[in-house]
Amino acid sequence: MPSKVKSFNLRRMPGFTPIALAIFVILYAPIVSLVVYSFNSESSVGVWGGWSLRWYVSAWNNEAIQRATLNSIQIAIISGAAATVMALMAALAMTRTRPYRGLTTKYALLNQPLMVPEIVTGVALLIVFARIKVWTGYTGPAYIFLAHTAFCIPFAYLPIRARLIGMDLTYERAAADLYAPPWATFRYVTLPLLAPGALAGFLLAFAISLDNVVISEFVKSGGQDTLPTYMLGQLRRDMTPEVNAAATVLLVISILAVSVFFVFNRKKN
């Protein structure tokens, strides 16, 4: 009898375990060192002097860090919410319709920010907003809100679209058969079923906006520092473990947002 063909298992390949461990070390060792040195009692980021919460207290009392943190959270919430609403409308328009010529092109254009380097997007937005500032004289925070919203739309769109594609149309068709108008069908049938995907899209957009530094650095005006841009500025000056403490807090917030996203995404599936 012919011998059975063994199924391919990547874990059984020679060198898989050491390569995987090396990759994890390369990825997470710098993050671990950052978190550990945020508890350093010394002023130097490279000299260990014992465990202390000194720099967390210092960061908590630093007015510049407070303003930057509040700016980051405010921008992430507003931009994430706006991006989620726009992504929701786009997903409905592109999934609740019959396939037609140009639909794939629209999908590619919508997801273009995922493929274009951030610095290209940042420079393009800088040029456009610079002209608008000259014409209008307005230099307020609306530009950074618009930039983050535009950049976060595809991140919010993907989980919402995945949710819509996986939804059974039976309930929506039943509502239409019972003479429910489109808005009532959306409000009472589609939106409740779509809520986990919409929330997952918002949390993903929130996390992306919260730690964005490239686009923020190009678009922001004076006095509009976010926490990532503030930390970047500190790296150019006198760097202390205070920056490590602020980075650790930002890391924790991002991890929580992404964790909640995966929880809702798993429930959705």
Three-state DSSP class for residue 193: helix
Averaged pLDDT for residues 183-196: 84
Cβ(224)–Cβ(141) below 8 Å: yes
Predicted confidence at residue 174, as pLDDT, reads: 86
How many other C-beta atoms are found inside a 10 Å radius of the C-beta of residue 128? 14
Predicted confidence at residue 95, as pLDDT, reads: 82
Predicted confidence at residue 259, as pLDDT, reads: 79
- How many CA atoms, within 13 angstroms, populate the side-chain half-sphere of residue 262? 5
pLDDT at 238 over 60: yes
Predicted confidence at residue 75, as pLDDT, reads: 92
Predicted confidence at residue 8, as pLDDT, reads: 66
pLDDT at 114 over 90: no
DSSP designation for 11: G
Residue-wise burial string across 50-79, b where 16 or more C-beta atoms lie within 10 A, e elsewhere: eeeebbbeebeebeebebbbebbbebbebb
Predicted TM-score (pTM) of the model is 0.79
Domains of the chain: 63-268 (1.10.3720.10)
pLDDT at 184 over 70: yes
Backbone angles phi, psi at 40, to 5 degrees: -75, 135
How is the chain split among helix, strand and coil, in percent rounded to 5?
75, 0, 25
Name beta bridge partners: 137.
none
Task: Share the mean pLDDT of the chain.
Answer: 83
The residue type at 199: L
pLDDT at 249 over 90: no
